């Protein structure tokens, strides 16, 4: 049973806190993780590449998640199939404008789904990031660590692939994210356990001197969610 307030809302003045959202959107380009950045359109740090984000619009955004989805669309032209909460950064000193909170979300997306030639939109390799404003550098590092941990146990890296993928390509994506080689036999069993991919009948690709590789696609019911394997992708057995 939901409780009802026992008396009218208090009339206390609430302390003024700046509430923003930021989004760490990771993608794979040239087999390396990249983060999506947009040039800031206002001070502080006007013109400097930063994570897409902005103020919560209290009249418009039902929750911080909605604010993040809106900011990502407005600032970067991107509709992500999902956004997960990463963590919240807060404090008196992180923003020159006052005591501030940034609720940070993250997602991974296939590079080919990013808008091409959008002014101010860029990707930067996570291993050689430009200097980012506020604590955005720390947010990116936290998101990368989370994605790596989560990739050991889930289908997360599948969302870095295009719509069609072969198993050797998918293994290369997992290896790029995890930063280590994966046993092929164990990998294929885990992917089969996940049950997210279906072969596209009759479609194969030829890569170099190898045998033709079957092309797969995400089953429709998985296009907007993640699956999890009970033990790690890279665990033996």
Q: Which parts of 43-82 interact with a second copy (CB under 8 A)?
A: 43-48, 55-59, 61-65
d(CA 206, CA 224): 29
Candidate ranges 75-83, 94-102, 178-186, 219-227; the one touching a second copy (CB under 8 A) = 94-102
d(CA 106, CA 89): 14
Candidate ranges 127-135, 156-164, 169-177, 205-213; the one touching a second copy (CB under 8 A) = 127-135
69 Cβ neighbours under 8 A, 6+ residues apart: 79, 80, 83
d(CA 179, CA 127): 12
Q: Which parts of 213-232 interact with a second copy (CB under 8 A)?
A: 231
Nearer to a second copy, 43 or 115 (CB): 43
> How many degrees, rounded to 5, is the angle at CA 212 between CA 209 and CA 217?
135
- 179 is a contact residue toward a second copy (CB under 8 A): no
Q: Do the beta carbons of residue 54 and residue 21 sit within 8 Å?
A: yes
- 92 is a contact residue toward a second copy (CB under 8 A): yes
Secondary structure letter of residue 71 according to DSSP? H
- 93 is a contact residue toward a second copy (CB under 8 A): yes
Q: Do the beta carbons of residue 198 and residue 223 sit within 8 Å?
A: no
- 98 is a contact residue toward a second copy (CB under 8 A): yes
- 19 is a contact residue toward a second copy (CB under 8 A): yes
d(CA 78, CA 97): 28
d(CA 78, CA 170): 23
Nearer to a second copy, 155 or 166 (CB): 155
Q: How far is the CB of 219 from a second copy (least distance, A)?
A: 27
Q: How far is the CB of 121 from a second copy (least distance, A)?
A: 19
The footprint of a second copy (CB under 8 A) covers 1-3, 5-10, 14-19, 42-48, 55-59, 61-65, 85, 87-88, 90-93, 96-99, 101, 103, 131-133, 231, 235
């Amino acid at each position: 049973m939901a409780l009802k307030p026992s008396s009218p809302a208090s009339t206390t003045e609430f302390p003024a806190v700046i509430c923003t959202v930021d989004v760490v959107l990771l993608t794979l380009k040239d087999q390396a993780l990249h983060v999506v950045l947009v040039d800031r359109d206002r001070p502080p740090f006007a013109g400097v590449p930063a994570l897409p984000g902005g103020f919560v619009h209290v009249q418009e955004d039902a929750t911080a998640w909605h604010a993040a989805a809106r900011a990502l669309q407005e600032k970067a032209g991107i509709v992500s199939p999902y956004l997960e909460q990463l963590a919240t950064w807060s404090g008196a000193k992180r923003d020159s404008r006052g005591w501030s909170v940034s609720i940070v979300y993250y997602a991974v997306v296939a590079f080919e789904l990013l808008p091409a030639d959008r002014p101010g939109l860029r990707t930067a390799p996570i291993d050689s990031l430009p200097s980012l404003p506020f604590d955005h550098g720390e947010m990116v590092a936290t998101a990368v660590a989370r994605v790596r941990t989560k990739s050991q146990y889930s289908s997360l890296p599948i969302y870095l692939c295009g719509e069609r993928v072969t198993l050797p390509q998918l293994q290369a994506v997992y290896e790029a994210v995890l930063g280590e080689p994966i046993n092929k036999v164990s990998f294929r069993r885990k992917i089969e356990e996940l049950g997210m991919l279906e072969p596209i009948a009759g479609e194969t690709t030829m890569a170099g001197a190898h045998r033709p590789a079957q092309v797969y696609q995400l089953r429709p019911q998985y296009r907007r969610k993640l699956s999890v394997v009970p033990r790690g992708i890279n665990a033996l057995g």
